[in-house]
């Protein structure tokens, strides 16, 4: 059975819902503005999620932050869960109307002489339907910033203005501006719909916890979960989801903890047992004293860790943001130079030169480049939670694809830390359960890990315990006392045999040798599978010979014992000189090693300090999940590489085509929208 240590909770950052962003460059722009504020430690704006996550050094004025975002052309409100947004169908209405009006412009209005009506429709499409692009472009230009909106705005506005002012070719480019806005709007709507379908994977988490909780005040009363305070008692009936962490005060039940631990077998719970939010009460009514209120539960912490993983910005994304920052002004210069060369040197007609310049502006929009990573990042975070692990930053998942050395702690990581009795030998006749009864009765007064293991084995066999008198613990040696009027002692044996542990047990004058073995938490094929691709080693504070024999038994040749936290740290540093290292540990003493390693992996039964130090936390199942973690890391990296290839190859091929005049502005807008959609659809495929 996998035990769960409630995950630690940190101060929550401010989360804002941001509207008005049309590309990743918008998100980067908001980040730069926010990070200029002294009170803000870090700001990450996620374009696909339409959210800003603001970490602060001190208390901040939320209204001031929102006004700061509004001042550069975007709107923001404090994020609220379960806010209903427009349906996918509603969002398509404006783009479709825009496209239909554009299609009718030439055959129904321009060719039939309805000039004013045509100009009115063109104005509606370019200035009304496309107003977000123009507002964003103007506010960015005021600050000498450039983004995708700059290219779309200049392209569509120049088309409209030239169409109105031209005398040689009246209304020549009117429909061009309409097609630019229409195709971009359709592309953006398809992007949002595809992103939304990806987001729904993790939003299902939010619906698991009931919003109303049952309390007892003379009779059952339903109370909003936000109004429940710490130490208040709540009632959970059979079949209901447990809404908050707490301890059972009355009642007996079995609980399905699979959503937290991944363990399919229900766990028996009675008075004093801890229960965790998100798990399901199966068989009996239980009364729970709340230990963690809404927003602080283990389930909430897991949810927050997923959200943080989804909204962190990996280093490769930061590099791309820098590229797009200089890409747009470069395209503007190329477009202007192309226009002047065609107009002055090649003596081309102005409308033809402008047609090529507009095509360059539109086709070069780097939107696909901005979408290449965020959606894959979001899906990876959602899928990782489904599989039972959480990464704190996408960079760590990427690093996993490059590691060539994995180092394991032993006790509590590869082993469960639980000892089982392998055999009991004596010159006297041995009744194993009777010896275990006396051992467990004595050990119930001790906090030693072996004592806890002996008690657990006695409990699993339903062996009743005697009271203990005159209990005495001898540090580093063992324990002794009086059990059922018999003098009993349990001491560390002088006998050693590699990985085995021996105890000398004395009950009155009878001597027994108890042989223990440590329970292994992995199957035999796990280490063998990893050894095919990675250098595997084990570091442990246990006896060196014991660790070496244990390593040989599971197929690990590099196994070192008697390792202090400093020794582990030094070993990892030396290994990192020629390798990229992942370390897997669970204890407080493993925390320095978890931090030093290129990737630190901890599990849900690790100490809270180890969980905090780890870069990846396994919260369902055991360390065999590492195979799935590495597999997801490789698939995610592969998908990002595919997206970057699609984005770069598009701009590499299409900009020269536009410069040579072999594509119209209409088709340029369609091609740009198609490139963004291709990246979104590729990101949305199953990982």
On the CB side of 168, how many CA atoms lie within 13 Å of its CA? 5
Q: Would you say 16 and 51 are in contact if contact means Cβ atoms under 8 Å apart? A: yes
Tell me: the pLDDT tens digits for 414-427? 887 778 888 888 87
The owner of tokens 């009936």 is 237
Q: Is residue 528 part of a domain?
A: yes
**Dihedral angle over CA of 140, 142, 143, 144, nearest 10:** 80
Asked if 490 and 611 sit in the same domain, the reply is: no
For 477-526, the pLDDT digits (tens) are: 888 999 999 999 998 887 765 555 788 899 988 888 888 877 788 876 88
Q: Which of 442, 422, 433 lies closest to 461, judged by CA?
A: 433
Query: Which residues, including other chains, have CB under 8 Å from residue 439's CB and lie 6 or more apart?
Result: 454, 458, 488, 490, 505, 514
> Is 570 part of any domain?
yes
The domain boundary, picked from 590, 618, 633, lies at 633
pLDDT over 70 for what percent of the chain? 85
- Whether 422 and 410 map to the same domain: the answer is no
- Cβ burial 307-335 (10 Å sphere, 16+ → b, else e): bbbbbbbbebbeebbeebbebbeebbebb
Do 402 and 443 belong to one domain? no
> From edge to edge, which strands make up the β-sheet containing 14-19?
40-46, 51-56, 14-19, 75-78
Question: What is the rounded distance in angstroms from the CA atom of residue 423 to the CA atom of residue 213?
Answer: 50
**Last residue of one domain, picked from the residues 469, 492, 520:** 520
Element (H, E) at 639: helix 626-659
Closest C-alpha to 75, from 8, 9, 139:
139
Is residue 551 located within the same domain as residue 408?
yes
In this structure, the answer to whether residues 471 and 499 fall within a common structural domain is yes
463 and 588 share one domain? no
Number of domain units in the chain: 2
Residue 179 domain-assigned? no
**pTM surpassing 0.75?**
no
Q: Residue 5: pLDDT band by 50, 70, 90 thresholds? A: very low
Chain CA centroid to CA 260, Å:
15
Please check whether residue 565 lies inside any domain of the structure.
Answer: yes
CATH number at residue 527: 3.40.50.1000
Q: DSSP assignment, residue 412?
A: I
Q: What share of the chain is helix, strand, coil (3-state, %, to 5)?
A: 50, 20, 30
**Residue 493 placed within a domain:** yes
Do 458 and 514 belong to one domain?
A: yes
Res 536 pLDDT > 90: yes
Report pLDDT for 9. Answer: 46
Judge whether 577 lies within some domain.
yes
The domain of 615 spans 388-414+522-633
Q: Is residue 575 part of a domain?
A: yes
At residue 631 the predicted structure's pLDDT band, cuts being 50, 70 and 90, is very high
- The answer to whether residue 330 is domain-embedded is no
Residues 398 and 536 in one domain: yes
Shared domain for 409 and 428, answered yes or no, is: no
pLDDT at 540 over 90: no
**Phi, psi (degrees; rounded to nearest 5) at 419:** -100, 140
Domain boundary among 462, 493, 520: 520
- Quick check: 332 and 146 in contact, CB under 8 A? yes
Beta carbons of 659 and 653 less than 8 angstroms apart? no
Does 506 lie in the same domain as 549? Answer: no
Q: Is pLDDT above 70 for 11? A: no
């Amino acid at each position: 059975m996998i035990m769960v240590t409630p995950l630690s909770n940190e101060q929550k950052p401010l989360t804002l819902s941001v509207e008005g962003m049309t590309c990743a460059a918008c998100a980067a722009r908001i980040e730069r503005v926010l990070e200029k504020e002294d009170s803000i430690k870090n700001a990450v704006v996620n374009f696909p999620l339409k959210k800003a996550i603001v970490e602060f050094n001190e208390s901040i004025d939320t209204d001031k932050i929102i006004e700061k975002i509004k001042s550069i052309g975007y709107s923001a409100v404090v994020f609220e869960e379960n806010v209903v947004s427009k349906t996918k169908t509603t969002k398509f209405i404006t783009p479709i109307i825009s496209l239909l009006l554009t299609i009718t412009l030439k055959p129904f209005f321009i060719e039939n002489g309805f000039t004013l009506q045509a100009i009115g429709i063109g104005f509606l499409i370019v200035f009304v339907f496309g107003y977000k692009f123009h507002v964003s472009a103007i506010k960015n230009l005021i600050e000498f910033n450039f983004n995708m909106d700059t290219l779309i705005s200049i392209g569509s506005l120049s088309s409209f203005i030239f169409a109105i002012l031209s005398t040689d070719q009246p209304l020549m480019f009117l429909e061009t501006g309409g097609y630019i806005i229409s195709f971009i709007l359709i592309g953006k709507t398809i992007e949002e719909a595809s992103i939304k379908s990806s987001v729904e994977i993790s939003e299902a988490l939010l619906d698991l916890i009931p919003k109303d909780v049952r309390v007892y005040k003379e009779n059952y009363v339903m109370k909003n979960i936000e109004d429940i305070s710490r130490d208040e008692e709540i009632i959970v009936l059979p079949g209901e989801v447990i809404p908050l962490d707490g301890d059972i005060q009355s009642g007996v039940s079995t609980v399905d903890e699979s959503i937290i631990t991944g363990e399919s077998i229900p766990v028996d719970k009675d008075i004093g047992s801890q229960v965790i939010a998100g798990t399901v009460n199966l068989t009996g009514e239980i009364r729970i004293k709340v230990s963690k209120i809404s927003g602080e539960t283990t389930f909430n912490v897991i949810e927050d860790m997923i959200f943080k993983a989804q909204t962190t910005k990996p280093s490769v994304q930061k590099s791309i943001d820098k590229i797009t920052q200089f890409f747009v002004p470069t395209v503007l210069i190329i477009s202007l130079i192309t226009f002047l060369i065609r107009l002055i040197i090649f003596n081309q007609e102005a409308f033809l030169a402008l047609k090529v310049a507009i095509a360059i502006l539109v086709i070069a929009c780097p939107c696909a480049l901005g979408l290449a990573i965020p959606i894959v990042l979001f899906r990876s975070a959602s899928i990782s939670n489904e599989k039972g692990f959480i990464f704190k930053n996408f960079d760590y998942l990427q690093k996993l694809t490059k590691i060539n050395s994995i180092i394991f702690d032993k006790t509590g990581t590869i082993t469960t830390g639980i000892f089982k009795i392998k055999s009991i030998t004596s010159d006297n006749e041995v009744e194993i359960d009777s010896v275990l009864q006396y051992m467990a009765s004595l050990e119930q007064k001790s906090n030693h890990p072996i004592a806890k293991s002996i008690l657990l084995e006695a409990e699993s066999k339903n062996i009743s315990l005697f009271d203990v008198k005159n209990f005495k613990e001898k540090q580093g040696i063992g324990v002794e006392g009086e059990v059922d009027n018999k003098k009993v002692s349990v001491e560390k044996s002088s006998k050693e045999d590699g990985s085995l542990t021996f105890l000398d047990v004395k009950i009155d004058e009878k001597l027994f040798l108890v042989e223990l073995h440590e329970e292994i938490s992995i199957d035999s094929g796990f280490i063998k599978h990893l050894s095919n691709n990675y250098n595997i080693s084990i570091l442990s504070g246990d006896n060196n010979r014991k660790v070496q024999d244990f390593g040989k038994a599971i197929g690990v040749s590099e196994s070192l014992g008697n390792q202090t936290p400093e020794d582990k740290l030094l070993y990892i540093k030396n290994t990192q000189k020629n390798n990229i290292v992942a370390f897997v540990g669970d204890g407080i003493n493993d925390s320095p090693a978890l931090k030093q390693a290129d990737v630190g992996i901890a599990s849900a039964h690790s100490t809270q300090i180890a969980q905090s130090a780890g870069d990846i936390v396994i919260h369902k199942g055991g360390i065999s999940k590492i195979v799935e973690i590495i597999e997801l890391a490789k698939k995610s990296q592969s998908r990002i590489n595919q997206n970057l290839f699609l984005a770069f190859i598009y701009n590499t091929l299409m900009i020269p085509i536009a410069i040579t005049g072999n594509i119209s502005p209409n088709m340029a807008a369609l091609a740009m929208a198609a490139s963004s959609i291709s990246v979104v659809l590729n990101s949305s495929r199953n990982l």
